[in-house]
Structure 1
Amino acid sequence: MFFLNSGSRGSLRAPAAAGLFLLLTLAGCGTPSGTSDAGPAPSASTPPSSVAAAPTPGVPSPSPAPGGPSADAAPAVVVPSMPRSEPVVLDIPSIGLRTDLLSLGLRTNGSLEVPEDTGSGAPAGWYNGSPTPGQPGPSVILGHVNALGGHKGVFADLRKLAPGSDVSVTRADGSTATFTVERGALYSKDSFPTVEVYGNTAGPELRLITCDGYDPATGLFDDNYVIYAKLKA
């Protein structure tokens, strides 16, 4: 079905930029029949926190008042964000996708909970160890690329998502966090860029992740496809 790793099939290690360490173990990408393999157990983590944004290039610093900060000290850029509220629905109109969102945590053995496919696919899932959509940092939503019975998975068309497209997440408090797609990227599971994907960000961002690169010889997916998106101002 889906999921991602770094260095070996079935596991993912993602250090956050502020020194926090995120390690997810997700169900391995299975065959089109829906079978999956699981990697070693992960460790739990605190959600990544935001880092201070850099000053806007070309904007001069105001002159300090007597006794105030030095003239070359630029004011911090305030990045808009939203308070914490868990996501409930993901909507991507440009590819005709609307799905309820599960909250995926860690089991007692340290492995990540996986959406159950009862025969017609499973909804996408938000990893509840990441920020809620709209909070500073990368919020992580995962989805299967295939489903039981030869059906398409919820993220089967993720590759069709073009830069500039809107991705909306309805939150439990009734608000909507709308993101703009910046790019998509394909990564080999043996060289997954964990810091780039999961590292801290100055403002609210979104990561949509699924599997890619199915190898019929092994019945496994060798790659991950990642969508990067930022919260609209």
Structure 2
Amino acid sequence: MKTRNPGRRGGLGAPTAAGILLALTLAGCAGGPATTADAGSQLSTSPPAAPTVPAVTATPPAAAPAAAPPTEQLPPVLGASAPVTLTIPLIGVRTDLLHLGLRENGSLEVPEDTGSGTPASWYNGSPTPGERGPSVMLGHVNALGGNKGVFADLRQLTPGAEINVSRTDGSIAVFTVDRGALYSKNEFPTLEVYGNTPGAELRLITCDGYDPATGLFDDNYVIYATLKA
């Protein structure tokens, strides 16, 4: 892994939110032969404000000056470098990564299946993998012709599994899985998934909860992973 640097505290910050209506409702995710991945929620770009601490009004007895509070120690991170490939050994995934952004209406672009399956995509409005903050990647759960999508087996990932992202600078960002979580699209925890983090993290997102009655996916499945120390 490349030498790390303290970096900045990253994530999808306020300037992005101010400039673009980030309605991250991904198109599709319908059943049948062709489907698309779906983040299923509006993107929230900043954590809630910290509660105000009441002022201390009592005067303490004379004493030596208090020591300054320790400087916050943030986890080390990598410098910015766009991702090239994603490898997940436990489930046999190796995919080139598309770099996709937002459509004119503010919705997130998703990989288009043209008949041979599609690679996963990195949302280029999120930090590059290894930078401070959550780097977001999307992938289909299925493909045309009834085939498996690139993220069909995310549920098999267990805590400690490794995820490797090769980057344009030649380095490899190695992440370890913390957990997976299933969310209803109607109750998608935007801040938990997309909000700022003190270290470098990774989010892998796909569809789940297929309903044969409607031909739609009602849920999203999200993998949370952290840059390996």
Question: TM-score if structure 2 supplies the norm length?
Answer: 0.78
Question: In 2, are the aligned partners of 1:32 and 1:146 still within 8 Å (CA)?
Answer: no
* 2: CA distance, partners of 1:232 / 1:200: 18
Where does 1:40-189 land on structure 2 (aligned, <5 Å)?
Answer: 70-71=66-67, 73-189=69-185
Cα separation, partners in 2 of 1:101 and 1:136, compared to 1, 3 Å: same
| CA deviation vs aligned residue, 1:93-134 (integer Å, no higher than 9, x gap) | 011010000001123343332212121210000000100000
Which residue matches 1:34?
Answer: 34
Residue correspondences, number: 198
Structure 2 counterpart of 1:34, one-letter code: A
* 2: CA distance, partners of 1:35 / 1:212: 11
Say what the alpha-carbon RMSD is for the aligned residues.
Answer: 3.0
Cα separation, partners in 2 of 1:164 and 1:216, compared to 1, 3 Å: same
* 1: CA distance, partners of 2:121 / 2:133: 17
Which residue matches 1:59?
Answer: none
* 1: CA distance, partners of 2:15 / 2:152: 33
Question: Alignment identity in percent?
Answer: 66
* 2: CA distance, partners of 1:109 / 1:17: 19
Where does 1:8-23 land on structure 2 (aligned, <5 Å)?
Answer: 21=17, 22-23=22-23
* 2: CA distance, partners of 1:77 / 1:147: 44
Cα separation, partners in 2 of 1:35 and 1:185, compared to 1, 3 Å: closer
1:225 equivalent to 2:221? Answer: yes
* 2: CA distance, partners of 1:35 / 1:93: 25
Which residue matches 1:52?
Answer: none
Question: In 2, are the aligned partners of 1:139 and 1:205 still within 8 Å (CA)?
Answer: yes
Structure 1 counterpart of 2:213, one-letter code: A
Q: Give 1:32 shift.
A: 2.9
Cα separation, partners in 2 of 1:138 and 1:177, compared to 1, 3 Å: same
Question: In 1, are the aligned partners of 2:46 and 2:191 still within 8 Å (CA)?
Answer: no
- Higher-Rg structure is 2
* 2: CA distance, partners of 1:215 / 1:118: 24
**Which runs of no fewer than 5 residues in structure 2 stay unpaired?**
1-10, 48-63
* 2: CA distance, partners of 1:173 / 1:16: 23
Structure 2 counterpart of 1:87, one-letter code: P
More relative contact order, 1 or 2 (CA 8 Å, 6+ apart): 2
Which residue matches 2:207?
Answer: 211
Question: In 2, are the aligned partners of 1:124 and 1:154 still within 8 Å (CA)?
Answer: yes
